[in-house]
């Protein structure tokens, strides 16, 4: 009896997502946001030709630096909380852990380009809802309502960040992989897509202004390769570092594939595909690379959490603090060159 109690207590102490690490990680994130606040990084919020008209309207409300940074940090916290809820709902990671929340919060907080608010700060929520509907319909070919909702969320979110439309093919692959795709579910996704389009078209006819559609076309065709952008090497140190870690995670997941259920393997393979598409799109749209990198961090946070939660003894701590050290060093390099 005593041995069982001792074993349980040791596991609690060695939990990488325990309260001490949560506090430590949260303080690092707050310190990063404070540095961004004092240096007014990203403020005032920029509007350009590669953003949607809805985002341009939202930016008119972000004139006060205190309000803007507070909203940005709260949106990031809410996004990390939704990712944590997403993991608990679908049990992608064995055991209870707060690592998805901590890693998503950490990866985005240490990215100075993310301050204070980006279009993806708002568009990430309809993307979460769309992925929630997709995963909830796993191996349920009769889930036409969820497929309608999924596409509705995705297209509605594209009104804030048009590049969400590029993830529709990935969603289609996920429907096929999860054994959802058939004539009825495909028709439901088309109905969800055109429902938003009809609402937007009705608004344009009422206002006698069709600039929303031309703005969509301009955004999606404004391709700018990352190595043609200014200071691309410094700005891409962190994403490339995380990309390398993702490749290592993929190798680990493949090696451990036999220990996972078919459901978990399907979820992890889709998350890897999703992260690859997000990263490749960030290389094509340099002016919006930060938003794509934020989407890239979404599945990577779950995959890294899966890896760390499966390690024993001190290994998760070593990897976790090594990751923090690398990210902080990269942040210092970025700030030194700003």
Judged against a pLDDT cut of 70, whether residue 53 lies above it is answered with yes
Judged against a pLDDT cut of 80, whether residue 240 lies above it is answered with no
8 Å CB contact between 242 and 296: yes
Residue 10: the pLDDT is 39
Distance from C-alpha of 330 to C-alpha of 163, rounded to nearest angstrom: 27
Closest CA relative to residue 148, chosen from 181, 183, 187? 187
Judged against a pLDDT cut of 70, whether residue 214 lies above it is answered with yes
The tens digit of pLDDT for each residue in 100-129 reads 999 999 999 988 888 889 889 999 999 999
Residue 8: the pLDDT is 36
Buried b (16+ CB within 10 A) or exposed e, 68-98: bbebbbebbbebbebbbebbeebebbeeebb
Is the alpha carbon torsion for 249, 327, 279, 225 positive or negative?
negative
Which residue bears the tokens 């707060």? 98
Share of the chain above pLDDT 70, in %: 87
The number of folded domains in the chain is 1
- Residue 224: phi and psi, rounded to 5, are -140, 110
Structure-token pair, residue 296: 């890239």
Residue 6: the pLDDT is 39
Give the bridge partners for 224, in sequence order.
285
Name the average pLDDT for the chain.
83
CA 236 vs CA 136, 202, 240: distances in Å: 34, 41, 6
- Residue 285: phi and psi, rounded to 5, are -120, 80
Which residue bears the tokens 């060159």? 337
Judged against a pLDDT cut of 50, whether residue 9 lies above it is answered with no
User: What DSSP element (H or E) covers 47?
Assistant: none
Q: What is the mean pLDDT of residues 127-149?
A: 92
CA 117 vs CA 1, 54, 58, 134: distances in Å: 53, 14, 11, 27
Torsion of CA 17, 18, 21, 25, to 10 degrees: 60
Give the bridge partners for 285, in sequence order.
224
Q: What is the mean pLDDT of residues 188-208?
A: 89
| Strand, coil or helix: 52 | coil
How many Å from the N-terminal Cα to the C-terminal Cα in the chain?
A: 59
* DSSP secondary structure code for residue 35 in this structure: H
Structure-token pair, residue 83: 């990712």
Range of 99's domain? 2-337
Angle at 253 between CA 251 and CA 255, to 5 degrees: 70
Residue 79: the pLDDT is 93
Judged against a pLDDT cut of 50, whether residue 289 lies above it is answered with yes
pLDDT band at 230 (very low <50, low <70, confident <90, very high): low
């Amino acid at each position: 009896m005593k041995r069982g109690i001792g074993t349980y207590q040791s596991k609690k102490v060695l939990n990488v997502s325990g309260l001490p690490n949560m506090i430590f990680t949260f303080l690092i994130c707050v310190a990063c946001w404070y540095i961004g606040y004092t240096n007014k990084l990203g403020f005032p919020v920029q509007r350009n030709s590669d953003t949607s008209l809805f985002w341009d309207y939202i930016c008119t409300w972000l004139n006060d630096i205190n309000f803007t940074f507070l909203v940005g940090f709260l949106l990031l916290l809410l996004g990390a909380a939704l990712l944590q809820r997403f993991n608990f709902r679908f049990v992608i990671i064995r055991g209870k852990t707060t690592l998805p929340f901590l890693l998503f919060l950490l990866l985005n907080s240490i990215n100075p380009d993310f301050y204070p608010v980006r279009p993806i700060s708002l568009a990430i929520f309809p993307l979460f809802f769309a992925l929630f509907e997709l995963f909830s319909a796993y191996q349920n070919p009769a889930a036409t309502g969820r497929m309608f909702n999924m596409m509705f969320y995705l297209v509605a979110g594209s009104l804030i960040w048009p590049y969400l439309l590029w993830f529709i093919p990935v969603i289609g692959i996920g429907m096929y992989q999860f054994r959802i795709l058939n004539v009825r579910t495909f028709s439901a996704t088309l109905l969800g897509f055109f429902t938003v389009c009809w609402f937007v078209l009705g608004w344009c006819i009422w206002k006698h202004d069709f600039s929303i559609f031309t703005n969509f076309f301009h955004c999606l065709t404004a391709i700018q390769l990352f190595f043609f952008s200014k200071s691309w090497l410094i700005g891409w140190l962190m994403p490339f570092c995380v990309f390398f870690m993702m490749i290592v995670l993929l190798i680990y997941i493949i090696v451990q594939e036999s220990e996972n259920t078919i459901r978990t393997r399907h979820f992890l393979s889709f998350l890897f595909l999703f992260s690859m598409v997000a990263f490749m799109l960030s290389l094509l749209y340099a002016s919006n690379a930060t938003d794509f990198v934020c989407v890239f961090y979404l599945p990577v946070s779950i995959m890294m959490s899966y890896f760390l939660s499966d390690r024993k003894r001190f290994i998760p701590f070593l990897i976790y603090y090594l990751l923090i050290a690398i990210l902080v060093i990269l942040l210092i390099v970025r700030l030194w060159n700003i």
